[in-house]
Amino acid sequence: MSRLRIEHRTGYRYDNSVTLSYNEARMTPLTDSQQVVLESSLTVSPSSAVVSNYRDYWGTRVTAFDMQTAHDFLEVTSLTTVEVHRSQRIPAAEETADWDVLRSDPVLDDYADWLPQTRLSEPGEEVLRSVRGLTDGLPPHEAGHALMAWLKAEMQYVPGVTGVQSNAEEVWNHRKGVCQDLAHLGIGALRGLGIPARYVSGYLHPKPDAGIGEAVTGESHAWLEWWDGEWRSWDPTNAGPISDLHVSVARGRDYRDVSPLKGILSGGGRSELKVQVEVTRLA
């Protein structure tokens, strides 16, 4: 178990005045079976913003706000204390679904959101041929782990090679990328086999040996989940299951469903994005 305090600040400075903007922030962690949000707040500056809250189609907590007065900066600050208690268990063979179950009408219907490729997850025919050969004869649970081992062997974590709009096929061609790229490629490979898969955004405490009360500079993180009878969480960047140091914020088909801050505006000219994440272990 871990108890973490996460402060996430993100925002823009504009060259010219913005006269109007409509925005959505997905920066508040989830409460689910493996983590509990103890305290949370989200503030918007300038304070003239009109704020509302809702849960989107995927279950993510969304803060929506509009700014209808002139402003030359925008800052959103999320402060959350969350308790994480994950357990890792190797399932028995009879506890996992076989291919007949994954291809059955009820599963195809229940997991219809997580099976089609998206523009960002489409891995290309070369990847699909490779993973089909790699997993031939394996049941879905073993196929998922074989894909994760393949991803670890084939890909390098290298910032600066890709961008937020890079899709899985482009990432594969580079054989390099960051956490969201590795997640998109893994998701595309899983979906290519007919295994439901989804994108998860959140935070990872980057320093496991940090002392209690020590504030550490962190960043947003991404990983994936696949379904083979139940959902399995995996962090391709760190080549292992997620831990008590991972905090989930949002799930979706790909990054576009879960981006921390997005919106539309009138005016502004050029802008500068600033992001700061600080993680403190409390227990």
The predicted model scores a pTM of: 0.95
**All residues at 6 or more sequence positions from 75 whose CB lies less than 8 Å from its CB, including other chains:** 9, 10, 11, 44, 45
Residues 77/9, Cβ–Cβ less than 8 Å: yes
* pLDDT at 275 exceeding the cut of 90: yes
In this prediction, residue 91 carries a pLDDT of 83
* pLDDT at 152 exceeding the cut of 80: yes
pLDDT tens profile 78-94? 999 999 999 877 787 77
In this prediction, residue 92 carries a pLDDT of 77
pLDDT tens profile 204-251? 999 999 999 999 999 899 999 999 999 999 999 999 999 999 999 999
In this prediction, residue 227 carries a pLDDT of 98
* pLDDT at 58 exceeding the cut of 90: yes
* Share of the chain residues as helix, strand and coil, in percent rounded to the nearest 5: 25, 40, 35
In this prediction, residue 268 carries a pLDDT of 87
Amino acid at 165: Q
Residues in the chain: 283
